[in-house]
Amino acid sequence: MDDLKAKYLDLIGKADSSSGLEDLRVAALGKKGEISLQMRELGKMSPEERQTAGPALNALKDEINSALVAKKVALDDAALDERLRGEWLDVTLPSRPRGEGSIHPISQVTEEVTAIFADMGFSVAEGPQIESDWYNFDALNIPGHHPARAEMDTFYTHRAEGDNRPPHVLRTHTSPVQIRGLEANGAPIRIICPGRVYRADYDQTHTPMFHQVEGLAIDKDVSMANLKWCLEEFVKSFFEVDAVDLRFRASHFPFTEPSAEVDIRCSWDNGTLKIGEGDDWLEILGSGMVHPKVLQAAGVDPSVYQGFAFGVGIDRIAMLKYGMSDLRAFFEAEPDVGVEIAGFFKRVLGEVEDQDLATGFEDAVSIAQNG
């Protein structure tokens, strides 16, 4: 038995692979292994012989098992060390450089505008981008014959022949959010409404989808003087100038009376726009006092409350601030602006259950892609 022990311990010590070690285990402890065969012979021995041979064979079996396990661990450790030497990596080395993104100018300008008006006490209001004809036009005192309601200017959803339900549109401004805000909260109120808007237009300074922020302030003693101060503070903060001259030009919007286009004094020095100096004027937004009919449509008594509203094109002021000449540059990540617009329509399309609305979106996608 000592010879058997010495034999297998020596072979185990010399084993250089896991497969060779497994062969030794089978030869010693398998069903037909040498130690297993000797243990079967215990039944043929006398009780006195079994008392001596049994414990000796069990001790031999345990010792061989322990040697096999220890050797396997040693072989596995050696194999791991060898693999790590081949796969070694210095984790202290600098990583490969990666291109880093940044906030899109439109998103950055939206955040800046929101922060400026928040300092003046305005809160942010949001609303749906698919609007009813009533919220988008009627509630804002826009008559049925107004050019803005023509299909050449507005994305209308499709209606089957004989379907007389009021039409839905992709909102052409964020003014419907003001109506919804007044309906939900009443007056007094002070809100801004940033978001995407849609019009069937596409050239150097227009895209089918663009961004606006509109403001609304309603109270019992709000006047044009408040509007002027509010816009002056906004322009100074946004363009980071100490002083600015604003020029209010009489205009007409159905939803405000009186209405005014707002220009800022500026100069063009070697193609660079400078705000607050020079002899030139640049139109930046529209504004006015909210029309009494708009207040009535939103459930506010115009004999008690009045206020002002204004609308700014976020894309436009971003172009002015960053010196961009082509609005389409904001969408250069896509091969064509239409792809960006169509992608948005299709994402929304997946959320629309009304088949008529879905068909209308498909029409809008076609216009966005093909012009």
The answer to whether 318 and 105 are in contact (CB under 8 A) is yes
Q: Could you give phi then psi for residue 275, rounded to 5 degrees?
A: -90, 140
pLDDT at res. 5: 74
70-114 confidence digits (pLDDT tens):
888 888 888 888 888 887 777 787 888 887 778 888 899 999 999
pLDDT at res. 351: 44
Cα Rg for the chain, rounded, in angstroms?
40
211-259 confidence digits (pLDDT tens):
999 999 999 999 999 999 999 999 999 998 888 899 999 999 999 999 9
Q: Judging by DSSP bridges, how do beta strands 256-269 and 272-275 pair with one another?
A: antiparallel
- β partners of residue 273: 268
**How is residue 70 written in tokens?**
């220890």
Tell me the CA distances in angstroms from 249 to 179, 198, 205, 232, 283, one per residue in order. 26, 26, 22, 15, 10
342-363 confidence digits (pLDDT tens):
555 554 444 444 444 445 445 5
178 has pLDDT over 50:
yes
Which DSSP helix (H) or strand (E) runs through 258? Answer: strand 256-269
pLDDT at res. 333: 57
- β partners of residue 216: 191, 309
CA 83 to CA 139: how far, in whole Å? 74
Nearest to 61 by CA among 27, 13, 29: 29
Q: Which CATH class is domain 105-370?
A: alpha beta
Q: What is the pTM of this model?
A: 0.63
CA 29 to CA 26: how far, in whole Å? 5
